[in-house]
Every structure is written in structure tokens, then in C-alpha cells.
Amino acid sequence: MERFLVRSKPPTTSAETAENPPPKEKRKKTVSRQYHESYLSYGFSWTGDVNNPQPECVVCREKLANANMVPSKLKRHLETKHPFHVQRNLAFFKRARDLNQRQQDHLLDCVKVSEKAMEASYMLAELIAKRFSSAKKWKAILREKKYSG
């Protein structure tokens, strides 16, 4: 039974710690791989931060970890997930990348709210907050509207 008990170590003196310093913790060195234009021939572009880019497949738009930005892993993704695109040339992947970029830009243009509309929304919220400062007033107004309408 005693072998299962966790025993604390006896306190050490300052003289012992000076002679035998505690071991330093080993930290893994993180390597941030950089994108190279030749990766487009494997069907990959990049997204994210310039200092820590993530490879993005131009066919399925799947984002991989930065550690996977190695030609062998990018080629394996292309061969396993998109076997019909293995024989495609570089021009195909450039067109797919440009198409994805245009779609992304178009989506941002459609979703963008004009600054005037945003400013009007904030002004309206401020007026409401000034006029109806408590939640009780809001609830009363909502009840009136519900029964009168």
C-alpha cells in the first residue's frame, strides 16, 4: 500500500540548490514555414498572416496547418483528395486561385455596410438609450404595442 502513496520531497537548503540547479525546461522550437510559388503546382495557395501563412487548397478551399507546408504533404493531399486534378497544369491552378480570390472580393463587396448606414444605426441606438434608460420602460412600451396592435 505504501508504494501508492505520493511522498513529498524534503525541503532543500540553499547550499544544495546552488550546487545542483534545477533542470531547465526544454521548449520545442516552432518553425514557421514560408509559402513558395512552386506550391501552386500542387494546387495550393496561402492564406492568413504573412509571417505564419497557412496553405489553402485552391480546389476544395481546405486550410492546412503551417507544418504541412512541405511539398510532399501538399502533393499527398492533391493525390488523395483530388486524384483527377493530379495531371493538371499550372495554368489550371492559377485560374482556380484567381476565381477564388474574385469570389471572396465579391462576397466582401456584397456584405459591406456603408459608413452612413452604420453611423445612422449608432445615432438611433444612442437616442433610444437616452430616451428609454431602463428596461422597465422598454417592457411597458412593448406590452402597450402588443395589446394595442
Based on the domain organization, do 144 and 129 belong to the same domain? Answer: yes
Based on the domain organization, do 124 and 104 belong to the same domain? Answer: no
Based on the domain organization, do 69 and 125 belong to the same domain? Answer: no
Sign of the C-alpha dihedral, residues 132, 137, 138, 144?
negative
Is residue 50 one of the residues assigned to a domain?
A: yes
Q: Give the Cα separation of 97 and 89 in Å (integer).
A: 13
Helix H or strand E segment including 56: strand 53-57
Based on the domain organization, do 41 and 108 belong to the same domain? Answer: yes
Q: What is the pLDDT of residue 27?
A: 72
Q: What is the pLDDT of residue 131?
A: 72
Is residue 121 one of the residues assigned to a domain?
A: yes
Based on the domain organization, do 57 and 120 belong to the same domain? Answer: no
Based on the domain organization, do 44 and 101 belong to the same domain? Answer: yes
The answer on pLDDT for 125 being more than 70 is: yes
Closest by CA position to 64, among listed 72, 73, 82: 73
Tally the domains of the chain. 2
The answer on pLDDT for 119 being more than 70 is: yes
Structural domain boundaries enclosing 122: 116-148
Average pLDDT over residues 68-91: 93
Closest by CA position to 44, among listed 79, 9, 5, 12: 79
Average pLDDT over residues 109-132: 80
pLDDT in tens, 48-74: 888 889 999 999 999 999 889 999 999
Closest by CA position to 59, among listed 37, 86, 38: 86
Average pLDDT over residues 22-37: 77
Is residue 65 one of the residues assigned to a domain?
A: yes
Please say whether the beta carbons of 45 and 26 come within 8 A: no
Residue 128 φ/ψ, nearest 5 degrees: -65, -40
Based on the domain organization, do 108 and 41 belong to the same domain? Answer: yes
The answer on pLDDT for 95 being more than 70 is: yes
Higher pLDDT, 140 or 17: 140
Please say whether the beta carbons of 71 and 42 come within 8 A: yes
Average pLDDT over residues 15-39: 74
Is residue 44 one of the residues assigned to a domain?
A: yes
Banded pLDDT at 121 (limits 50, 70, 90): confident
Q: What is the pLDDT of residue 90?
A: 93
Banded pLDDT at 101 (limits 50, 70, 90): very high
Sign of the C-alpha dihedral, residues 71, 73, 77, 83?
positive
Q: What is the pTM (predicted TM-score) of this model? A: 0.57
Is residue 15 one of the residues assigned to a domain?
A: no
Residue 57 φ/ψ, nearest 5 degrees: -70, 130
Is residue 142 one of the residues assigned to a domain?
A: yes
Q: What is the pLDDT of residue 128?
A: 74
Q: Give the Cα separation of 149 and 147 in Å (integer).
A: 6
Based on the domain organization, do 48 and 108 belong to the same domain? Answer: yes
Is residue 74 one of the residues assigned to a domain?
A: yes
Q: What nine digits make up the cell of 48?
A: 492568413
